[in-house]
A and B are shown apart, each in its own frame.
Chain A
Amino acid sequence: MKRLYIAAVAVFFTIAAGAQTIDRSQKPKAGPAPVIKIADPAKFILPNGMTVLVVENHKLPKISASLGTNRGLILEGDKAGVLSLMGNMLNEGTQSLSKEQFDEKVEMMGATVSLNSGGGYVSALNRYFEQSLLLMADALKNPAFKQENFEKLKSQDITGLKTQEKNAKAISSRVVRALSYGKNTAAGEFRTIEKTEAITLDDVKAAYQQYLSPANSILTFVGDITPAKAKELALKAFGTWKGKKLPIAKDVPVPNPAKTEIDLIDVPSAVQSEITVGNLISNPYSNPDHHALALANHILGGGAESKLFMNLREKHGFTYGSYSNVGADRYQSMFSAGASVRNDKVDSAVAEIIREIDHMREGKITAEELATAKAVYNGIFAMRMENPQTTASYASTILIHQLPADFYRTYLQKINAVTIADIKRVAQKYFNTDGARIIVVGKAAAVKPGLEKLGYPVKMFDAYANPVSESATPAASVNQNMTSQQVIDKYIAAIGGKEALSKVNTLSCDVSMSIGGQTLSGTMKNAAPNKSFLVLSTAGMTVVKRVFNGQKGYQEQMGQRMEMGPDEIAMGTDTRGIFPQLFYNTEGFKLSAPVAEKIDGEEAYKIVVTKPSGNTATEYYSANTGLLIKEESIVKAAGQEIEQAMEYGGYTAVKGIKLPGTMAQSVMGQRMEFVLSDYKINEGVADKDFE
C-alpha cells in the first residue's frame, strides 16, 4: 500500500512537472530583463605602460586584437588632417616589407591586418594569429614612410576634399561642429585643401612621434586565447616599443548661444537643405541621466517609429527621414535633430522639428512610446552582445571613461527603470530650444525669406563657418528694367542669333563623366521638335539609357527597362525644338518678370518658365554674357517629386553656335559633372535613334 502510494505520488509529480500551464490566448509575459553577463576581461600592464585586456572566448579557433590610444581630443591646428594621413601611411609597408609584400603575406593566411593613427586591428585563425600580430606590430613600429606613398595618399585626400566642395551634406557636417564648438577648437576644426597641401612627410613623422605611445595604448585580445598566452604575444610584439606618457587634453566647455539663432550657409547649387537643430551638452557615460537621455533620444528621433520620422516623413512628406542624436563623451558632446528637406519646405520643417522637441520638453510622451523605445534598446543591446568585439569595446570604454565595472552589466536594468517623468526631465535639461543653433545649409535665396519669418535672428556664414555680410546693392551689370523677352533675346543673340538657331534640326554630342575613379561615357542626341536620346556606359556595360521619341519613351538602368510614365512624357513633350527659348512667350510658354540673383558669384536674371503642360522651371541667364547658366526643375518620378538643378558652363562655338562644354547636375544631395564634346549639328542623327 505504502509502495503504491509512493508510486502514485511519483507519477503525479512527474505529470505536474511536465504539464506547465500556459495561456495561449495572449502573448506570454516577458521574463525579467536578462542580466547581461559580461565577464571582466583579464587586465595587465606591460613594463612599457601598455594596458592589455583579454576577452577569452573559446567558441571559435580565431583570435583578434585591436590596439587603440587613449589620448583624448587633439588640436591639429594648421596641420588638420595630419593624423589621418599618418594612420593611412602605416598601411603602406614597413622598413623590411613593401606594401605589396605585406598585403600578400596577410592574404596567404586568410587574415586581416589594418592600421590607423591610434593603432590597428588584426584577426586570424589561431595558427596564423602570432604571425599576423607580428605583422601588425611591424607596421606600427617600423613604418616605411616613403615619400612616393605619402604623395599618393595626400593627392587622394585632396581629390576627396575637392569632390566634397559643393556637397551640402559634407558642408553641413563641417559647419555644424565648427559653429557649435568654434572652428579653432579640437572638436570644431576641420581639414581643408590648403591645409592638406601644406602637410609634409616630416609632419607625418612628427605626428607619429607625438601621438603614439605604448604608455597610453590599450591592446585588446578577443577570442581563443588565454591571458598567459596573450601576455607572451603582447611582449613579443610590443615589448620593445618605448614612449612616454601622452598628455590628455582637459574639457573646456563652450557655451551655447544665449538665444536660439539660425545660422544659414549659402550653397547656391543645393536643391535640398540640410537642417540641424542642436545644442552642446555634457553627457559623460557616468552621467546619471545617461540612460533616460538615450531613451528620450529614441522617442524623439531614434527610428522609423519615432516622433520626428512620423511627423516629417509620414505626416508631412518633407523628407525621406528625420532623426536625432545624443552624443556621449568625457568631452562636451552634441544633441542634434535634423533632416534633408527640399528648399520650399525648409521653414516648415524647422518649425516641426522644434515642435517635436518641445513636445518632449512638455512631457507629451505615451506609455507605448516609452515601452517600444525600451524594447528596441533591450533587443539591440542583447543582439550586439553576440559579437565578442562588443565585449572588448565595452571593456575599453569602461577603462577610458573610468566607469564602474558593472556599467554595461546593469545597463538594461537602468534603461528599463526609466519613467515618463524622467524623459520629460532630461528633455528639459538637455534638449535646449531656447539656446539652440538652427543650422541650415542650402540655397539662401530660396530658404532665407521663410526662415526669417520664424522669429529667430538669421546669421549668414560661408561653407567654412566664417561670418559673411551681404551686399545689398546689385552689381552694375544688372539692368533692373529688363523684360523677360529682352533677357531671352539677349541669350539667343549671345549663342548665335535667331536665324542660325532656327536652322538647327538635330544636335548630338559625346558625354563623359568620372565618378569614383570610373569613367562613364556616352552620347546625347536631340532632334526637333522634342526627340531625345542619352546613353552612358562604362567598361562595355550600359549604365543608363534614356530614349524619348516625341510620344513615348523608356529608361534602362543596369539592364532594367522602365517605360516612361505620364509625368515623364509630359516633361518630354514640353520641349520645342533644339533651342526652346525661340518659342518662349509663345506656344504656351509663359515667363515671369526677371529677378536679379547671384549664382556662384555671378549676377544673373532669374526667370520662371511655365511650360505648356503647366510644369515650371527656373532659369538663370548671366547678366554679363547673356548665357544660360543654370536651370532648376522639379522632376516627378515614381510618385515622388525631386528637385534637380543643372548648371551650364564652358560655352564654345560650334559652326557659329555657342554650346555648353560642361553640365553639372545636382539631385538628391549628389552632384555629377559631365563634359560635353564633339558636337555635331544636323548630322549623324536619324529618327531610328529615338526608337
Chain B
Amino acid sequence: MKKIGIGFFLLTGMLPALAQKVKFTEFDLSNGMRVVLHEDHTAPIVVTSVMYHVGSKDEVPGHTGMAHFFEHLLFEGSKNIKKGEFMKIVSQNGGQNNANTTQDRTYYYEVFPSNQLETGLWLESERLMHPVINEDGVKTQNEVVKEEKRLRIDNQPYGNLIYSVFSRLFTKHPYRWPVIGSMEDLDNTKLPDFLAFNKKYYAPDNAVLVVAGDIDPVKTKKLVEAYFGPIPKSGDIKRVNVTEDPITTELIDTVYDANIQIPAIVAAYRTPGMKSRDALALDMASQILSGGASSRMYKKMVDQKKNALQVAAFNYTLEDYGAYLTFALPNGEHNLDSLLKDMDEEVAGLQTALISEAEFTKLQNQAENDYVSGNNTMMGIAESLAKGYTFHNNTNYLNTELDLIKSITRQDIQDVAKKYLNKNQRVVLYYLPVRKEAAK
C-alpha cells in the first residue's frame, strides 16, 4: 500500500504540463514596432494594448516620477482627439480602458466589442503619433498625480514600506526611488523635460502592440500598418545598465510612518531579476512560507503562537533585480524581535532541509492553478504576451512558463534559500508608528 502511495506521488510530480498553448503571430513594422496578434473568437471583444519599455528606472535623479506622470499626460488628447475626449470615446463605444506604470514598463490598454477594433488602434496610434503635450496638460496632471501620491502612498498605512526597503537594498540602481517620484521632482519636471522624454522613449521601436481577441489577423495587420506604420522610429533606445555591489553586512534601520498604529518588521534580501530561473524558485519558496492558511509561517505565527496578526513572504521580481521580503505585524504587545526570530527560523528551515514531498506536490498544484487561472481572459493573455516580448525577448514566454515552474526541484528551492536569503545579505527594517513627540 505504501509503495503505491509513493508511486502515485512520483507520477503526479512528473505529469507534463497540459495547459493549452496560446497561439499568436508576430511581426515588426518597418519602424521597429513589434506587433503581436492573438486570434480568439471565444468572445466578440478585442483588446488593443501597447507596452512601452520605459518605467521609473529610466528616469534620472531630480526627475523621479516622470514615467508615471507621462502616462497621465497621454490621456490628455492628441492632434485629432480633443482634451477630455479620450475616456468619453471609450465609454460611449461600449469599451473600457486604463494604463499603469511600473519600474520597468508602461502599459496602456482598451477592451472593446470587436467591431470597434479600429477605434482601439486609432486611439493607441494617436497617443503615440502626436499626443498633445502642453503646459495646460502638465499643470492639470501635476495636481492629479500629486493627489494620487497623497491618496495611494503618503496617506496609506504602510504606503512607504516598499520604497523604504528598495531605497536601502539599492544604492546605485534606479530601483532605489519610488515609481510615484517625489513631490519636489514632480514640481521640478517641466514641459521641455516631458517633450524630451516622449521623444526618447515613446517610439514604435520601444514598444509592443498586442491585439488580442475576435480579429481577422490579415485585416488587422493591414489596419495596424496603416495606423502605426507612419510613426517614425527612434533608433536610439538606451537601456539602464547598472550593477549593484553585493550586500555583505546586515543593515538594520528604523522607519516611521504617521499613518500606522501597528508597527511592522521587515527583512529584505536582494534577489536576481525575472530572467533568472532562481527568481521562480524564490517565488515557490515564498509560497511555502506564507501561501495560505497551511503555510509554514502562517501556521506557526498567526495560528499557533498568535504573536502575529499578519505575516507574509514574497518575491518582488523586477527586470534587473528583485527583492525578497519577509514581513510581519505583531498581535497585541508582542515585540518585533520575537517576530523576526520566528521568521528567520522558517527561512533557516528552508536552507537546512528539503521541503516535504507533500508540500512540493501541493505547491505544484497551486502553481498550476494560478497559471491556468491567470491566462483565461484576453486582457490577461495580452499582457502576458507583451511582457514576454518586453522582458524575455520571447513573446512565447507564457507558453513555456509552466514547464519552467515544473522544472524547479525541491533541491532548487533549498539552493536559492541558501544562496540569497542570508542574514549578511539583507536589510532589516523596524517600521514604526510616529511617536507623539516626533509628530509635533
Contacts and interface: CB of A to CB of B under 8 A. Distances in A.
Interface stretch (B13-21, B186-194, B237-245, B416-424): B13-21
A108 B376 contact: no
A541 B261 contact: yes
A161 interface: no
A30 B226 contact: no
Contacts of A601: none
Contacts of A57: 42
Nearest to A542: B261
Contacts of A388: 42
Contact of A559 (B18, B259, B372): B259
Interface string B28-68: 00000000000011111100000000000000000000000
Contact of B365 (A29, A125, A378, A558): A125
User: How many B residues are at the interface, by size bracket?
Assistant: 35 or more
Contact of A108 (B118, B126, B362): B362
Interface in B361-375: 362, 365-366, 368-369, 372, 375
Contacts of B42: 57, 59, 385-386, 388
Contacts of B15: 127
A381 B114 CA distance: 12
A367 interface: no
A430 B5 CA distance: 65
A561 B258 contact: yes
Contact of A382 (B43, B122, B225): B43
A36 interface: yes
Given A372-B92, A540-B332, A31 B117 contact: yes
Nearest to A388: B42
A37 B42 CA distance: 7
B45 A386 contact: yes
Given A125-B372, A558-B157, A559-B261, A24 B113 contact: no
A160 interface: no
A512 B126 CA distance: 59
Interface string B89-129: 10111111000000000000001111111110110011000
B118 A28 contact: yes
Interface residues of A, number: 57
A400 interface: no
A110 interface: yes
A30 B44 CA distance: 13
A561 B259 contact: yes
Nearest to A25: B80
B372 A36 contact: no
A79 B150 CA distance: 54
A24 B80 contact: yes
Contacts of A35: 44
A650 to B, nearest CB: 31
Given A125-B368, A540-B309, A560-B259, A383 B226 contact: no
Interface string B210-244: 00001000000011011100000000000000000
Nearest to A34: B44
B113 A541 contact: no
A385 B43 contact: yes
Contacts of A259: none
Contacts of B12: 127
Contact of B18 (A19, A29, A126): A126
Interface string A251-293: 0000000000000000000000000000000000000000000
A181 B173 CA distance: 69
A566 interface: no
B80 A559 contact: no
A206 B323 CA distance: 59
Nearest to A391: B42
A36 to B, nearest CB: 6
Given A36-B44, A62-B372, A125-B372, A378 B259 contact: no
A559 B157 contact: yes
Interface string B117-157: 11101100110000000000000000000000000000101
5 contacts: A32-B115, A33-B113, A34-B113, A60-B20, A540-B331
Interface of A: 17-22, 24-37, 57-62, 108-110, 125-127, 224, 371-372, 375-386, 388, 539-542, 556, 558-561
Interface of B: 12, 15, 18-20, 40-45, 79-80, 89, 91-96, 111-119, 121-122, 125-126, 155, 157, 214, 222-223, 225-227, 258-262, 309, 331-333, 362, 365-366, 368-369, 372, 375-378
Given A385-B44, A540-B333, 7 more contacts: A20-B223, A25-B80, A125-B369, A375-B91, A382-B45, A386-B378, A560-B155
